[in-house]
Amino acid sequence: MVEGKILKVSGPLVVAEGMREANMFDVVRVGEKKLIGEIIEMHGDRASIQVYEETAGIGRGDKVVSTGAPLSVELGPGLLSNIYDGIQRPLEVMREKYGSNLTRGIDEPALDREKLWHFEAALKYGDEVESGDVLGIVQENEVINLKIMVPPKMKGTIVDLKSGDFRVTDPIGKIKLSDGNVENLTLLQKWPVRLARPYKEKLPPVDPMVTGQRVIDALFPIAKGGTACVPGPFGSGKTVVQHQLAKWSDVDLVVYIGCGERGNEMTDVLREFPELTDPRTGKSLMERTVLIANTSDMPVAAREASIYTGITIAEYFRDMGYSVAVIADSTSRWAEALREMSGRLEEMPGEEGYPAYLTSRLAQFYERAGKVVCLGSDGREGALSAIGAVSPQGGDISEPVTQATLRIVKVFWGLDATLAYRRHFPAINWLNSYSLYRDRLSGWFKEHVSKSWMDYTARCLKTLQLEADLQEIVKLVGMDALSPEDRLTLDVAQSIREDFLQQNAFEGFDSYTPLAKQNALLELIFTYEDLARDAVKKGADVESVCELPVHERIGRAKAAPTDSYEAEYASIKNEMVSQLDELVAAAKED
């Protein structure tokens, strides 16, 4: 056990001497209060330590003791439905034991040491196993079967394994390793957060992560195992978009990292998710969710760690063959934490004071996403999708964090303050957002939704682009200067914006739209366009077409109940036909 003495304290940075024997990135306990820290630099026998708790009251000469192990998370039954801080301390337990404010130097295990879990063994004596093989199952809750796996880097023969009720640290069996040593197996595994968990092989992502958010699924889809970012100024609805993704994405598990954001937002998730039902399982959404909270008033160094804590937990579930989404709100706060530590280490700054390694750290984070063949002999596949919010200062996306992120991620959902002021939500700007997965996912959409899906969505994008061009003209010379065709284009674009893209996160059937309904809604809008163009060609007055009463029903179509929208849409189409026919007939009489 290496023990040193403190030389320097500057905010979350502590320098200690007498640490020559300690390892880089070892966790240390600082001072009498035993604050948790991590060695981030070594110079001779001096170690620079970032401390994950407030350092007030620490001074020269205080003791620093290395634990000899890197910052790790505990993986096993009990993670789900839980809320942790940035270094995986259980916040509910801390509240019960230590009151409603966070006190320092608390050391609580992440997983309950007393609770018994029922383990059902899947293997038996004499089975040859390699790392990743499923030893057995713990039914953690009604939604998730937790697969207990042989830890990475282990290979050998099972010499003992039994079903039964165990605490997380109890031995459930023994494995004889290839080198002859026998080791105990437990439900609990530990893994260092800064190291990506291994897998066999990475695969290209080919299936979409369906979110039920129309602008995302139809225009800028994300793949399972893909990466996306959501930059936007404050008030543009970043958090609502993130919450919607956490609620409705068709993944098995969600790890939600509140990184340097508002305390009340985490509370909102914590109080609201248990009340919501997952449309696919019919169970509470909280049962598939793990929350990591480092709110903006919590110590800044732990913010840096929270991202890694979250993604390591997600990788653990991915290794079981699940599809997992990591949602990080916001990576800008994480980058600022890096900047603060870098400044205190007196490193040479890059752009806007951010350290020069900002881009590579961001890339490392997002590269831990992906669709993979997991370890284990059964060849199961898991996917980890990563979605990061970015909070650019002043909404200016030319700043370093957004730019560095855009170089890595494949999907960009750019939030726009002007849309938000007009109460167009989700305020994802259709002109500058993009998804590089559109082509790769087209096969899936054609097979599982409809053959025309890709055409409809491409037509949406094209119409919206045309609208932007036409708006320029309208601003200069007024609406009257447009040809009837162009006038109709504006009408259809408005319908796409208001009746399709706008989606109310807080309203019953509108909050989540299944793909089939999205497709039907698009079909409805484009049927209108085709019929309207035809009617105008036959002489109908374009202004009258744009003011047809059927528009109001199209406008309410998105809120139609999921199980009965088809009849409603068919009836709207009939009304469209008859109203347009009347106009054509009237035109012929004139």
**Shortest spacing between CB 339 and other proteins, in angstroms:** 5
| CA angle, 107 then 108 then 110, to 5° | 130
Question: Site for other proteins (CB under 8 A): which residue of 443, 508, 555, 561?
Answer: 555
Q: Is the bond preceding 330 in cis, omega lying within 30 degrees of 0?
A: yes
Contact between 105 and other proteins by CB under 8 A: the answer reads no
Query: Among residue numbers 299 through 318, which ones bind other proteins (CB under 8 A)?
Result: 299-300
Residue among 37 and 321 whose Cβ is closer to other proteins: 37
Residue among 51 and 314 whose Cβ is closer to other proteins: 51
**Shortest spacing between CB 253 and other proteins, in angstroms:** 20
Contact between 470 and other proteins by CB under 8 A: the answer reads no
Contact between 29 and other proteins by CB under 8 A: the answer reads no
Residue among 296 and 442 whose Cβ is closer to other proteins: 296
Residue 218's Cβ-side half-sphere holds a number of Cα atoms within 13 Å equal to 33
Contacting range for other proteins; rule: CB under 8 A; set: 53-61, 63-71, 121-129, 429-437: 53-61
| CA angle, 221 then 227 then 230, to 5° | 75
Of the candidates 295, 238, 240, 241, the one whose C-alpha atom is nearest the C-alpha of residue 83 is 295
How far is it, in rounded angstroms, from Cα 416 to Cα 234?
A: 10
Secondary structure E strands in 354-502: 370-373, 381-390, 411-412, 434-435
**Shortest spacing between CB 212 and other proteins, in angstroms:** 20
Residue among 2 and 420 whose Cβ is closer to other proteins: 420
**Shortest spacing between CB 521 and other proteins, in angstroms:** 17
Contact between 99 and other proteins by CB under 8 A: the answer reads yes
Contact between 394 and other proteins by CB under 8 A: the answer reads yes
**Shortest spacing between CB 557 and other proteins, in angstroms:** 13
Query: Among residue numbers 441 through 460, which ones bind other proteins (CB under 8 A)?
Result: none
Contact between 55 and other proteins by CB under 8 A: the answer reads yes
Residue among 46 and 538 whose Cβ is closer to other proteins: 46
Residue 176: how many other CB atoms lie within 10 Å:
15
Contact between 68 and other proteins by CB under 8 A: the answer reads no
How far is it, in rounded angstroms, from Cα 5 to Cα 38?
A: 15
Query: Among residue numbers 72 through 91, which ones bind other proteins (CB under 8 A)?
Result: 83, 91
Contacting range for other proteins; rule: CB under 8 A; set: 99-107, 118-126, 369-377, 465-473: 99-107
How many residues belong to the chain? 590
- The answer to whether 216 and 429 have CB atoms below 8 angstroms apart is no
Contact between 268 and other proteins by CB under 8 A: the answer reads yes
Contact between 398 and other proteins by CB under 8 A: the answer reads no
Contact between 44 and other proteins by CB under 8 A: the answer reads no
Question: Site for other proteins (CB under 8 A): which residue of 19, 73, 149, 293?
Answer: 293
Based on the number of CB atoms within 10 Å of its own CB, is 188 exposed (0-12), middle (13-18) or buried (19 or more)? buried
Which residues are CB-contacts of 287 (< 8 A; sequence separation ≥ 6)? 80, 81, 141, 142, 143, 144, 278, 281
Residue among 160 and 541 whose Cβ is closer to other proteins: 541
Contact between 297 and other proteins by CB under 8 A: the answer reads yes
Question: Site for other proteins (CB under 8 A): which residue of 59, 275, 282, 590?
Answer: 59
Contact between 92 and other proteins by CB under 8 A: the answer reads yes
Contact between 260 and other proteins by CB under 8 A: the answer reads yes
Residue among 37 and 370 whose Cβ is closer to other proteins: 37
Contact between 296 and other proteins by CB under 8 A: the answer reads yes
Q: Rounded to the nearest 5°, which phi and psi values hold at 333?
A: -70, -35
Contact between 497 and other proteins by CB under 8 A: the answer reads no
Contact between 561 and other proteins by CB under 8 A: the answer reads no
| 61, 137, 190, 225 from 168: Cα distances, Å | 38, 13, 12, 30
How far is it, in rounded angstroms, from Cα 270 to Cα 274?
A: 7
Query: Among residue numbers 196 through 225, which ones bind other proteins (CB under 8 A)?
Result: none
Residue among 226 and 260 whose Cβ is closer to other proteins: 260
Question: Site for other proteins (CB under 8 A): which residue of 35, 73, 80, 94?
Answer: 94
Contact between 343 and other proteins by CB under 8 A: the answer reads yes
Of the candidates 53, 43, 49, the one whose C-alpha atom is nearest the C-alpha of residue 20 is 43
Contact between 247 and other proteins by CB under 8 A: the answer reads no
| CA angle, 219 then 221 then 227, to 5° | 140
How far is it, in rounded angstroms, from Cα 433 to Cα 443?
A: 22
Contacts made by residues 107-114, CB under 8 angstroms, sequence distance 24+: 107/34, 107/36, 109/74, 110/73, 110/74, 110/78, 110/79, 110/84, 111/74, 111/76, 111/77, 111/78, 111/79, 111/168, 111/188, 112/78, 112/168, 113/167, 113/168, 113/169, 114/167
Contact between 58 and other proteins by CB under 8 A: the answer reads yes
Question: Site for other proteins (CB under 8 A): which residue of 21, 103, 443, 448?
Answer: 103
| 241, 326, 498 from 215: Cα distances, Å | 11, 20, 11
Element housing 41 (H / E):
strand 35-43
Contact between 469 and other proteins by CB under 8 A: the answer reads no
Contact between 567 and other proteins by CB under 8 A: the answer reads no
How far is it, in rounded angstroms, from Cα 143 to Cα 288?
A: 7
Place of tokens 């970043």: 238
Site size with other proteins, rule: CB under 8 A? 69
Question: Site for other proteins (CB under 8 A): which residue of 2, 9, 110, 230?
Answer: 9
| CA angle, 148 then 152 then 156, to 5° | 85
Residue 398: how many other CB atoms lie within 10 Å:
7
Q: Residues in the site for other proteins, rule: CB under 8 A? A: 6-11, 54-61, 83, 91-92, 94-95, 99-103, 233-235, 258, 260, 262-264, 266-268, 270-271, 293, 295-300, 333, 336, 339-340, 343, 349, 352-353, 391, 393-396, 417, 421-423, 475, 478-480, 506, 552, 555-556
